[in-house]
Structure 1
């Protein structure tokens, strides 16, 4: 694909086309194509937890993934079998994903925080046949194994020894041939509308769901890498994300390689330290960067003059609402605006802010090409500008490339979000007169107080703009007079402690930053917020706790 330049959003949407090759398979059609054209082109710069850097070429990934594919086939795994990956940010994750793509296996990327109970649930729920996991996770898999009869192939990455019934990754991969030609037999040849991978959703409102994507899914991320991240050949891109979640393939894999860039992977294992991240950006000359707004909030508290960020030219964010103060402070300190975007585990990038567009702080942007996005009210009517509605994607004339095929083995749940020619995201937003979307939150998270409808993100954004607040979760509490009261559950910065004076100060602060009626009448201070293992705030848990009788 050849990237083109545009001077406006309208021109970009009009000119952009996405060609979907027949029976597309990323490993053969992208990785192998690049490796054969330019074998030593840089694919990844990897820095491990000890600070050791390794550079990997596309030819290296081609050979390693071919070896692993052959070895896994010898283990009896075949097209359609599901393989759970629990790996840190190590190169073996990318090799394993590509090997699965070659063989037609369906990888299930999973976070390292999974407990024995989580592993048991997911293995049985998805009928997992193989697992490729960190040595530090192997004992948990072993503990769940007796209850998981579907498991036939276990691979351990790292460690000095493996338990009975396990394969050592290094030994296994060396048993495979360095070439794995694309199979021609239909029962072995995977691509196109065959299943590519499964994500378990983060479970913010219930048990995790299995989100299935097809082999065309990576193509949907070309816009992510080439246009939202604004990547060019020779760029080095860092998206801060764990390999157990969808954001890793959003920002560290498909779209970036298709755009001609290399990915930077920092495999830190302990607590995130902002100063160490800035050192990585500086030392390795990262050119483009993507991280959640929370990370930017931590970075602007550092002395950025200590770091050489001259190579950095483009910054993006997604996953939460970016508040104005962070946007302006980062731009003042670096000279760079932050371009927001929006998508879900079920999709690729639905809404984006492009370099050719004005970056409006707090707005997630305008619909990505190929995504016919509208806002709908509860009766199914299209909303006018300024009117709140659910973000919905038109599918009646064909699903956009990158939309999931459905919730696996859950037709009722799939039917609850895909009906009347639209995919219903469950997220609320409003659109301004310029066509920019402004995210409000999950439909279930909206607060109705005294006739007003209040999105939690708006209040949270105002709160985290105050130096005392590190994190905030805003929910509604039942009230006889107003219907609901706005409640803020807050994690304070180290130099602050709770007091009536601080509560009043925070309430007044919110009244100044946003509409006064949105201020939290109740503020609760906590050490940490309830979150999913992916780090998303579980407001539902706060609401459930508030609903319990005292």
Structure 2
């Protein structure tokens, strides 16, 4: 059965704005470096980096002019290493200036940027570099040792080496135009079976990122905007780096870990007015009684459903609602409780909102789906070298893109999330595929079978739990549980370890041998 949300009357200004973005970013001669940095006022601030120096916050403004010059010089260095149009380059670093310079330099050469999350362990990094055929990796000192032992790559480390390559080279004479359909990013997303899937992001995808920044988040020229998400994942990369650059809106880049106290300091001292983060951040802040007395203009949440208690808390602590938004790596955000006055509607707790301008959605066989023909901002056409997985994302007639998430739409066109069909676990806004964790756990000599599921968690939304079948003669113990948790931390990612390990005699499976995770999720 297919349900399509009622289509509201279009605002002429909205339609004109969409057309302008689609024309600009979809042009056959579109030049990513020109669109992201060169066309902007060189004296305007693109990012403000924040570091912690003892008890002080130290900030540095990165102007478009400085980013343009540094990225042109670094592009020369990358070209000398053989990087050119269509080549891929991995970037393994946190929220620092070198990440932005690297992205822009890669774009100048018509090459493709592969983001690598800093919590990944070496096997997860190597898998993405190998699948993406990257020959050069740019990293920071704290991450460099993870690349030891990965053959066939050249490593550049932020600091003296990176700085010397910038200052010691002349700027490239011109930037490569790959056009709107040319690839800008290759971002890997996890599923439930097989290796993570590569999602090529074309230059024309910037149109949808601008649309969300403008209509979803309502980031204005006067805002002090802070998207706290990590750029190793879609939301942080799309709307913390690419979107701000494409739209010409400053973002804050904090090069430090999260804490409620630090978040409060930054909001107060830097005068943040527009804040975006995962529900986990808001839940953590809401449990700190000292986090109050703020007056934000906008607050937004994405990555997992937002619980009503956070909305109630925000009204008093932040003096604004926290509005929930929905999307996926394959297309970015597309159903939102929009903030911009042209499309904003009263917030209904529990609802993700309505389709964003440029997208049309519906319910197909119980799944939230995108009407491809009626969604000019949709840019996803398929996974990297995975035609079968790509085909599974679309209906047979190619009319609908299937999210794999079940939901419903009410008579007013508001969408509500129900559950995920693909068993991907969303913890603190990070999407974790069970297969990635299971693949590490099964390597332990004591493990003969394993399944990983997500369980509800008040703070993180979900946490991982593992159900492990042990080899004959092996007895489960607290020590073995800690050993398996550490194995995941070092073999996959520090954030993705199972908080609880259940030792069981067998796993529930279908006659064809598929694990029935829904049964495990129901077990106490």
- TM-score, scaled relative to structure 2: 0.76
- Aligned mates of 1:101, 1:470 — CA distance in 2: 35
Shift of 1:402: 4.4
Task: Give secondary structure in 1 for the equivalent of 2:73.
Answer: helix
Match of 1:27 among 25, 28, 33: 33
- The correspondence of residues 228-267 of structure 1 with structure 2, limited to 5 A, is 228-267=216-255
Identify the match of residue 394 of structure 1 among 371, 393, 398: 371
Change (3 A) 1:546 1:104: farther
- Alignment partners' CA distance in 1, 2:213 and 2:187: 20
| 1:143 maps to 2:149 | yes
Q: Write out aligned runs for 1:519-538 (5 A).
A: 533=493
Coordinate RMSD, CA, aligned: 3.3
* SS of 1:374 mapped into structure 2: strand
Shift of residue 535, structure 1, vs aligned partner: 5.7
Per the alignment, residue 359 of structure 1 pairs with: 347
* CA distance in 1 between partners of 2:461 and 2:455 (Å): 8
Please give the alpha-carbon distance, in whole angstroms, between the structure 2 residues aligned to 1:234 and 1:547. 55
Q: CA 1:200/1:544 → structure 2, altered by over 3 Å: closer, same or farther?
A: farther
SS in 2 for 1:181: coil
Aligned to 1:208: 196
Counterpart Cα distance in 2 of 1:330 and 1:235: 19
Match of 1:91 in 2: 97
Give a deviation string over 1:283-325, Cα, whole Å, max 9, x none. 1111100011111111112234666x34x21000011111111
Does the CA-based 8 Å contact 1:45-1:263 persist in structure 2? yes
Q: What SS does structure 2 have at the residue aligned with 1:191?
A: coil
Quick check: 2:279–2:302 contact (8 Å CA) kept in 1?
yes
Q: C-alpha offsets along residues 185-244 of structure 1, whole Å, 9 cap, x if unaligned?
A: xxxx32321111100103455421111111111121111111211111132211111121
1:198 corresponds to which of 186, 191, 197: 186
- How much has 1:369 moved relative to structure 2? 1.4
Q: CA deviation at 1:14?
A: 8.0
Contact persistence 1:221–1:402 (CA under 8 A): no
Matched ranges for 1:265-414 at <5 A: 265-268=253-256, 270=257, 272-304=258-290, 309-310=294-295, 312-355=296-339, 356-377=344-365, 389-395=366-372, 397=373, 400-414=376-390
**Equivalent pairs, count:** 439
Q: Note the C-alpha offset of 1:334.
A: 2.2
Q: Secondary structure at the match of 1:391?
A: strand
Q: Report if aligned partners of 2:238, 2:332 keep a CA contact under 8 Å in 1.
A: yes
- Offset of residue 533 of structure 1: 4.3
Give the corresponding residue for 2:156. Answer: 155
Say whether 1:172 aligns with 2:165: yes
2:44 paired residue number: 41
Residues 67 and 173, structure 1, Cα contact 8 Å, conserved in 2: yes
Relative to 1, partners in 2 of residues 1:273 and 1:288: Cα closer, same or farther, differing over 3 Å?
Answer: same
CA distance in 2, matches of 1:211, 1:178: 30
In structure 1, C-alpha distance between the alignment counterparts of 2:313 and 2:504, rounded to whole Å: 36
Cα distance in 2 for residues equivalent to 1:332 and 1:538: 35
- Kindly report which structure 2 residues correspond to 1:448-467, keeping only aligned pairs within 5 A, or say none: 464=458
Task: Provide closer, same or farther for how the CA distance between residues 88 and 13 of structure 1 changes in structure 2, counting only shifts above 3 A.
Answer: farther
SS of equivalent to 2:149? helix
Aligned pairs for 1:383-532 (under 5 A) are: 389-395=366-372, 397=373, 400-419=376-395, 420-421=397-398, 422-445=400-423, 464=458, 472=462
- SS at 2:150's partner residue? helix
How far has the Cα of 1:13 moved from its partner? 8.4
1-structure distance, mates of 2:109, 2:51? 28
Q: CA, structure 1 residues 14+64, in 2 after alignment: closer, same or farther (shift >3 Å)?
A: closer
- Asked if 1:58 corresponds to 2:91, the answer is no
Cα distance, 1:282 vs structure 2: 1.0
* Local SS of the residue matching 1:92: helix
State the shift of 1:437 in Å: 0.4
**TM-score scaled by length of structure 1:** 0.73
Indicate if the aligned counterparts of 1:25 and 1:190 stay in contact, CA closer than 8 A.
yes
1:328 and 1:136 mapped to 2: Cα distance? 39
The residue number in structure 1 matching 2:3 is none
Are residues 12 and 259 of structure 1, via their aligned partners in 2, closer, same or farther at CA, if it must alter by over 3 Å? farther
TM-superposed CA distance for 1:127, in Å, is 1.1
Change in CA separation of 1:543 and 1:442 when aligned onto 2, cut-off 3 Å? farther
3-state DSSP of counterpart to 1:249? helix
Map Cα deviations across residues 499-532 of structure 1 (whole Å, 9 max, x no partner). Answer: xxxxxxxxxxxxxxxxxxxxxxxxxxxx99x998
Q: What is the Cα deviation at residue 442 of structure 1? A: 0.9
> 2-side partners of 1:98 and 1:87: how far apart?
15
CA 1:85/1:473 → structure 2, altered by over 3 Å: closer, same or farther? closer
| 8 Å CA contact retained: 1:69, 1:180 | no
CA deviation profile, 1:433-453 (whole Å, cap 9, x unmatched): 21110111211459xxxxxxx
Q: Aligned residue for 2:111? A: 105
Aligned match for 1:227, one of 205, 215, 219: 215
Per the alignment, residue 474 of structure 2 pairs with none
CA gap 1:9/1:354 in 2 versus in 1, 3 angstroms:
farther
Change (3 A) 1:195 1:232: same
Question: 2:14 corresponds to which residue?
Answer: 15
Distance 1:398 1:544 in 2: 49
Q: Paired residue for 1:182, among 162, 169, 175?
A: 175
